[in-house]
Amino acid sequence: MTQSEQKVMVANTAIDTLIEKGLIFSGMKIGLGTGSTAMPAITRLAEHLKKGSIKDVKAVVTSFQAQNACLEYGIPVYSMNHPEINGELDLTFDGADEVDPDCNLIKGGGAAHVREKLVEYNSKIFVVVADSTKRVDTIGTKFPVPVEVIPEARASVTRALEATGAKPVLREGVRKCGPVITDNNNWILDCTWEKPIDVPAMEDKINSFTGVVEVGLFSKKKPIVFLGTDDGKVEIRNLD
């Protein structure tokens, strides 16, 4: 099974299971995430909408990628501030860059983690779909943790991050000169540490630095996780 096939399998399993369990239902307010595993999940959701398994969902998206998919599939998109959403969602599903045994996450490889955290931390239920390559024992030493900062705070936040033992690197654009600009017009500092980090403590610490908009550590709301395995199965965590 290729990685792409595994992503589709995990996404389909997640959406089908959540509908069967009644956690995705008609008329719900649903958050739709970003990335190469979240996109197949949106496709599967659209298939259920088309055949009538569910209907009349209201979607909030975390990126232009998810918004374009909703436009293609005819899923209505709202903002978190819309009166019919009122800042709270029933369920959000998304991908992840890393998932540890405690279901702590790194997100933000696509620089969308600020909107992702806004949507996911304000959802009653948070669901993560990920292939087996995202499974890790510890967080912080391999895949970089993104820290979104206002541009004027780059130097001061870099010093503060270095004091935690991090090695922050300004994320540069591809096929353009200069830094990546987020959807919020900010910059990204990608951080790694020599040793694994205490994820909840580091999430709080980095978010306390003046000039930080948000860090791509997700530990405050434990998700239901659908995680691919090397033998082509799906491991499900935190689904009672």
Q: Which of 116, 148, 203, 214 is catalytic?
A: 116
Whether 81 and 102 share a structural domain: yes
- Number of domains forming the structure of the chain: 2
124 and 156, same domain (yes or no) = no
Same domain, 131 and 183: no
What CATH number does the domain containing 196 carry?
3.30.70.260
Strands 98-99 and 105-106: antiparallel
User: Distance between CA 122 and CA 124 in Å, rounded?
Assistant: 7
Which pair of tokens denotes residue 39?
Answer: 């996109």
108 and 194 part of one domain: no
Residues sharing a CB contact under 8 Å with residue 192, sequence separation 6 or more, in sequence order: 140, 141, 142, 144, 145, 166, 167
As beta bridge partners, residue 128 has 94, 225
What is the distance between the alpha carbons of residues 195 and 203, in angstroms, rounded to a whole number?
16
Query: What residues contact residue 229 under an 8 Å CB cut-off, 6+ apart?
Result: 132, 235
Is 203 found in the same domain as 116?
Answer: no
What count of other Cβ atoms lies within 10 Å of the Cβ of residue 140? 25
- Residues 120 and 19 both lie in one domain: yes
- Same-domain pairing of 194 and 232: no
Verify that 117 and 12 share a domain, yes or no. Answer: yes
Tally of CB atoms within 10 A around 192 = 16
DSSP string, 36-68: TTHHHHHHHHHHHHHHTSS---EEEESSHHHHH
- Is 172 annotated in the active site? no
Residue 203 and residue 163 share a domain: yes
Q: Based on the number of CB atoms within 10 Å of its own CB, is 160 exposed (0-12), middle (13-18) or buried (19 or more)?
A: buried
SS3 content of the chain, % helix, strand, coil (to 5): 30, 25, 45
Domain holding 153, by residue range, is 145-214
Placement of tokens 């499974």 in the chain? 135
Q: Quick check: 169 and 186 in contact, CB under 8 A?
A: no
Stretches in the chain below the pLDDT threshold 70: none
β-strand pairing of 224-228 with 234-237: antiparallel
Q: Is the dihedral of CA 101, 103, 105, 110 positive or negative?
A: positive
Which CA distances in Å does 63 have to 15, 131, 158? 20, 21, 26
| CATH code (residue 91) | 3.40.50.1360
Statement to judge: residues 63 and 126 lie in one domain: yes
- Tokens 């009538």 -> residue: 52
What's residue 55's pLDDT? 94
Q: Calculate the alpha carbon distances from 127 to 130, 162, 195 in Å.
A: 10, 32, 28
Q: Are residues 167 and 117 in the same domain?
A: no
Question: Does residue 114 sit in the same domain as residue 7?
Answer: yes
